[in-house]
Amino acid sequence: MIYTVTMNPALDYVVTVESFAAGEVNRVKTEHVYFGGKGINVSKILKELGLESQCFGFVAGFTGKELARGVEEELGLCSRFIEVADGMTRINVKMRGDQETEINGMGPVVRDGDVEKLQTQLEALNDGDVLILSGSVPQTMDAKIYAGIMKPLQSKEIKVVVDATGELLLRTLSYRPFLIKPNKDELADLFEVEIHTIEEVERYARKLQDMGAQNVLISMAKDGSLLIDEDGQSNRIGVCQGEVVNSVGAGDYMVAGFVAGCLSGKSYADTLKLATACGGATAFSRDLAKREKIEEMVKQWA
């Protein structure tokens, strides 16, 4: 079984405007509400690829109830969210016009007892399961939380994927995550450097592998992606060809494609193709990418 953890899910309120003007009334042309969060995004594309998963994480307030309802009823996913007492599941406003602007909410107040409930849930994981830890955490949570989740699972053969940034990611490396997926800018931030070339990307990706990560996948926007696999091989691929209409969640869908490729026994080179196809198909779709679109993207490298 695949388990995705979204510590800080959100209702994403996505609107388009002609041209945003600060200090004035701005009329919305289109509006949509999505049930968001990096782990939830991964579960969505896994379902499209025919793989079951369960969504874990924390929700709170009336927005949390709506998110949990939507994940189950509208997305058709299995969820086991923990409802916490204080705060509310965040609403993220994403405004698209002549520029893209985002306003992200805070998230609920998650206490030690809530974290213990999550850790109890994860005790049910078995050898061969996949655990995906994705995204930011509420402001009340410690940057050691992902590492704390991984530590008691070390006695089991579980593939742990970490898609996070900064200290959240760095603290997990000693527990040898199966996959990490920073983008190029996040990679530079981890080492407090500027990265200008593909050679520099590879150098710092290999440093993360030396620090414990088994597979390191770096997304590089228009320059495609670079994977340093667990055998130490460098795999590079370009971007899919098409018209970008949606930039939200493409990295999350790459994680889903990578996991799906690995579980199906594909080589790392072919797994990278599937991961990139999932990200590209999402970028070229106004909503969730369909399996047919993903397969179309894969054929670009046939």
Q: Which domains does the chain have, with CATH numbers?
A: 2-6+39-65+110-301 (3.40.1190.20)
Residue 245 has pLDDT above 70, yes or no: no
The span from the CA of 89 to the CA of 64, in Å, is: 5
CB 53 within 8 A of CB 1: yes
Would residue 252 show up in a list of annotated catalytic residues for this protein? Answer: yes
User: What is the reported pLDDT for 119?
Assistant: 94
Q: Write the pLDDT tens digit of every residue in 75-128.
A: 999 999 999 999 999 999 988 887 888 899 999 999 999 999 999 999 999 999
Selected catalytic residue, list 114, 163, 229, 252? 252
The pLDDT-based confidence of 18 (bands split at 50, 70, 90) is: confident
Tell me the three state secondary structure of residue 235: strand
88's CB contacts (< 8 A; 6+ apart) are 60, 61, 62, 63, 64, 105, 108
Residue 301 has pLDDT above 80, yes or no: no
Q: Write the pLDDT tens digit of every residue in 270-280.
A: 999 999 998 88
Would the pTM count as exceeding 0.85? Answer: yes
Beta strands in the chain (DSSP E): 2-6, 10-17, 28-36, 53-59, 78-79, 82-83, 90-96, 100-103, 130-134, 159-163, 179-180, 215-219, 225-228, 234-237
